[in-house]
Structure 1
Amino acid sequence: MWHGQLRHLLLLAVLLPGAWAIAGGSLGDGSFLGITDEVWFIAAVAVPVIQQLAVALLWRAQLCNGLLTRTFGDAGFIVWGLIFFPLLVARPLLIAAVGLADVGTLPIPRALGIALGSAMLLPALWTMHSVKKYFGFARALGGDHFFERYRTMPLVREGAFKYSSNAMYTFVFIGFWGIALLCRSRAALAVAMFQHAYIWVHWYCTEQPDGVVLYGRSPDED
């Protein structure tokens, strides 16, 4: 149940002060929608922590004890989606809010920020299209923890997955960097860096070990 989670917490304890150290010098003067940049920053860091701790706890509880399906039946997967998807959608929105509250603190020309930011959004959008077309959002949600049919599906090798077996974590999170660069925000860039690093903590500490139990191998191996 708790395999890898001490390592998860230790790495989180390193990443959190690192994100603050990168962003801290630019915070304290801005606001967006009447909310200070510091509050937006805290929210943008807290939401992925809440989400990934929830994933670690509930995926493991489902994997080890069938908690959600025992409690809610097949609707347990829907309940999980209602927990997971709002937190997922909030992640880029909060980075944008940090960027708009802290706009212009990254010392790069506006045109360069727009060019780089737009370029970084492209692989993220392409990967989301690949997830929808080839992988499926239900599978990305962790359907293999709930239903046998997802465990017998082959690895996806089309679209973005042709270039990385873990295209979602490799490419989608580049889009978060793009949002920060579009805003030319140091604090938003710190959040994007934190979120991208932290999703790999989730991979190595939770998802990969779960895959060994579910498939007898890491889920990114042939």
Structure 2
Amino acid sequence: MSQQRSPDDGKNTFPQAASKWATPNGAIWINRSPCHHLNDAARSIEAVAMTSAQPADRLALAYIFERQWLHLLLLLMLLGGLGPAVRADAFRVGALFGLATPVWMALAVILAITHQGYVWFCWRMELHASLLTRCFGDRAFPLYASGFAILVLSRLTTVVVLAAANRNTVPLDVSALRILAVVTAVPVVYLFYSVQRYFTFRRALGLDHFDSSYRSRPLVNQGIFRFTRNGMYVFGLLIAWLPGLWYASAAGLLLALFNHAYVWVHYVATERPDMKRIYPGLAGTPPPAA
């Protein structure tokens, strides 16, 4: 006697489940079914973006794009200020590896925007839709972290190369500038020590967007974080100034100013709102419901 097979027999099927992610303004129900194909990933993004389906979808979309209008506005202002400055001769002198200083400047700015756009997309899609976890499971954070590392190292590399290409364009004593670079490096080293010892680099990369257990963990107040909650922004970003100081590069210092300001844009427009939801105590709101 033959056994009748249903149309789904022999296919990979997964139980459908839903979980509730609560916010201070209400609850969002999100489909938690695994995503094993790129087409499924595209459908997951589309489901989040369909604002006409359910009020919860519109709320999720609002959270994903929260304050990104401010991000775009401040970025345009920074680019508007950067454009006229790079036309000055001091910022155009030099070349390295066959590319002129303005080309390295353009590459550095493109990498900065790409890097911060990547972080926004991954953080918000994971925090409000669990997209990466649904697509990649336990590999979600390592894959995100790998992309982050590639982009941030590329970003730092272009800063160094730009400064080397544009060296000796600051009309100050090079030895004095290098002493200043060494002094500036001290809090940077202490910051990375504090991150490794007390904070962990995984958390610094945004693990709290992937792991809900961080909502009940206290903020770190040891090491350099005794002096400021924003150690990465106050002291960590000083690393961007070191190549410009070391090589006495006008373009390198200008790029450092852009990077420093633009990372603060990321903090105001993306990280700060996220932290208020991950750590409700920052916003003075009760913890999310289970």
TM-score, normalised relative to structure 2: 0.72
How far apart are 1:147 and its partner, in Å?
0.8
Match of 1:6 among 55, 59, 69: 69
Of 131-140 and 118-127, more deviation after overlay is shown by 118-127
* 1:2 Cα deviation after fit: 0.6
- The one-character-per-residue Cα deviations of 1:91-113 (angstroms, maximum 9, x if unpaired) are 22211111000001111111111
Partner AA of 1:37 in structure 2: T
User: Secondary structure of 2:87's match?
Assistant: helix
Q: Does residue 254 of structure 2 align to residue 206 of structure 1? A: no
Hey, what does 1:196 align to over in structure 2?
260
Residue in structure 2 matched with residue 57 of structure 1 by the alignment = 121
Deviations 1:116-160 (A, max 9, x none): 111111111211111111100110111111112333322111111
- Which residue number in structure 2 is paired with residue 89 of structure 1? 153
**Is the contact between residue 215 and residue 280 of structure 2 (CA under 8 Å) also seen in structure 1?**
no
Structure 2 stretches lacking a partner, 5+ long: 1-63, 284-290
- Taking only aligned residues, the RMSD between alpha carbons, in angstroms, comes to 1.5
**After alignment, is 143-152 or 45-54 more displaced?**
143-152
The Cα of 1:217 is off from its aligned counterpart by 4.2
The residue identity in structure 1 corresponding to 2:258 is F
AA paired with 2:265? V
CA contact (8 A) 1:116 1:181 kept: yes
Structure in which a larger fraction of residues adopt helix? 1
What residue is the counterpart of 1:68 in the other structure?
132
The answer to whether the Cα contact below 8 Å between 1:24 and 1:187 also exists between their aligned partners in 2 is no
Counterpart-to-counterpart distance in 1, 2:240 and 2:174? 17
Q: In the alignment, does 2:223 pair up with 1:159?
A: yes
Secondary structure, counterpart of 1:169 in structure 2: helix
CA gap 1:156/1:60 in 2 versus in 1, 3 angstroms: same
- Corresponding letter in the other structure for 2:69: L
Secondary structure of the equivalent of 1:156?
A: coil
Report the counterpart of residue 105 of structure 1 in structure 2: 169
CA distance in 2, matches of 1:33, 1:122: 31
* Aligned equivalent of 1:31: 95
* Distance of 1:110 and 1:58 partners within structure 2: 41
Structure 1 SS opposite 2:137? helix
Q: How many residues align?
A: 219
State the partner residue of 1:187.
Answer: 251
- Which is bigger in relative contact order (C-alpha 8 A, separation at least 6)? 1
**AA matched with 2:102:** E
Query: Whole-Å Cα distance in 2 between the matches of residues 218 and 53 of structure 1?
Result: 24
Q: Which residue of 1 aligns with 2:196?
A: 132
Q: Is the contact between residue 123 and residue 175 of structure 1 (CA under 8 Å) also seen in structure 2? A: no
Asked if 1 retains the 8 angstrom alpha-carbon contact of 2:86 and 2:92, the reply is no
> Structure 2 CA distance, aligned partners of 1:198 and 1:218?
23
- Extract unaligned runs of 5+ from structure 1: none
Aligned to 2:179: 115
Relative distance call for 1:39 and 1:134 in structure 2 (3 A) is same
Contact 1:208 / 1:218 at 8 angstroms: preserved in 2?
no
TM-score under structure 1 length normalisation: 0.93
Matched letter for residue 274 of structure 2 = D
Pair member with larger Rg: 2
CA contact (8 A) 2:194 2:223 kept: yes
